[in-house]
With several copies, the nearest count.
Chain A
Amino acid sequence: MKVEITESIFKPYEKIEQYQKSLQIHGQYGAVATFVGSMRDFNDGQQVSGMMLEHYPGMTEKHIEKICQHASEKWSLLDVLVIHRVGEVTIGEPIVAIAVWAAHRGDAMDACRHILEDLKYQAPFWKKEHAGGGDRWVKNNTAGYLKD
């Protein structure tokens, strides 16, 4: 399991591929579910040009590790990778990448979603968007509905 907080732009799929290669689980995983969240140019009815992502150094890492640990107890997982960006982020850049390796697809997808929802609602990160009318703190994330 690996949790990484980074101030630099990162290439999510290269990171996932690279981490996968480092694992000793060849032939064991039948399923890898990933989620990559990127910065959009439009949010909450307004054009945005970028944002600043604040976090709580120490607690943020600790909290995400706890989420992943919890997911590993709830589902049958082989490994988990979470990368989250902090600092100044520009349009189109990745903010978060989650990858979950499991024998079976149900575990990988359920856990990936669970980790993402916890990141959205519990992990100590705060977004301040640079919008036309000045900077604004994002008040709440949009819902990650389950429509199935």
Chain B
Amino acid sequence: MSITVKYFALIREQAGKSQEIVDYRPGMTVSDVWRTVMDEDLPSDIKVAVNMEYSGTDLGLNDGDEVAFFPSVTGG
């Protein structure tokens, strides 16, 4: 019963970690994950992906999901 949480770029640096595992609770949303690990509300400028697809912050998660938090992308 777990969620894999990943951080990238500035978020990764600020968190001081690139990945962690949090316990899964039924009904848990993306925002809940951030609140669990960071002890604050998810800032609106942070992008979210669930299982490697962009996602909204209210999405309900399933056991085993991978959630990623990152700033605006700057590739290309």
Interface residues of A, Cβ cutoff 8 Å to B: 37, 53-56, 58-59, 62-63, 84, 95-96, 105, 116, 119-128, 137-141
User: What 1/0 flags go to B22-60 for Cβ under 8 Å of A?
Assistant: 000000000000000000000000000100111000000
Q: A56-B8, A56-B49, A62-B52 are in contact. Are A139 and B75 (CB under 8 A)?
A: no
User: What 1/0 flags go to B11-22 for Cβ under 8 Å of A?
Assistant: 010000000000
Interface residues of B, Cβ cutoff 8 Å to A: 6, 8-10, 12, 49, 52-54, 68, 70-76
Choose from A63, A84, A141 the contact partner of B74 (Cβ within 8 Å).
A141
Interface of A is mostly: mixed
Counted as pairs of residues, one from A and one from B, with CB atoms less than 8 Å apart, the total is 72
Given contacts A37-B76, A126-B75, A137-B9, 13 further A-B contacts (CB under 8 A): A56-B52, A95-B76, A105-B76, A116-B76, A119-B76, A121-B73, A123-B75, A124-B8, A124-B49, A126-B10, A137-B74, A138-B74, A141-B76
Q: Are A122 and B73 in contact (CB under 8 A)?
A: yes
Q: Are A137 and B71 in contact (CB under 8 A)?
A: yes
Q: Which residues of A contact B9 (CB under 8 A)?
A: 54, 126, 128, 137
Shortest C-beta distance, A86 to chain B (Å), equals 9
Shortest C-beta distance, A105 to chain B (Å), equals 8
- Which chain A residue shows the least CB distance to B10? A137
Q: Are B73 and A123 in contact (CB under 8 A)?
A: yes
Q: Are B74 and A126 in contact (CB under 8 A)?
A: yes
Q: Which residues of A contact B71 (CB under 8 A)?
A: 126, 137, 139
Q: A62-B52, A137-B9 are in contact. Are A124 and B75 (CB under 8 A)?
A: yes
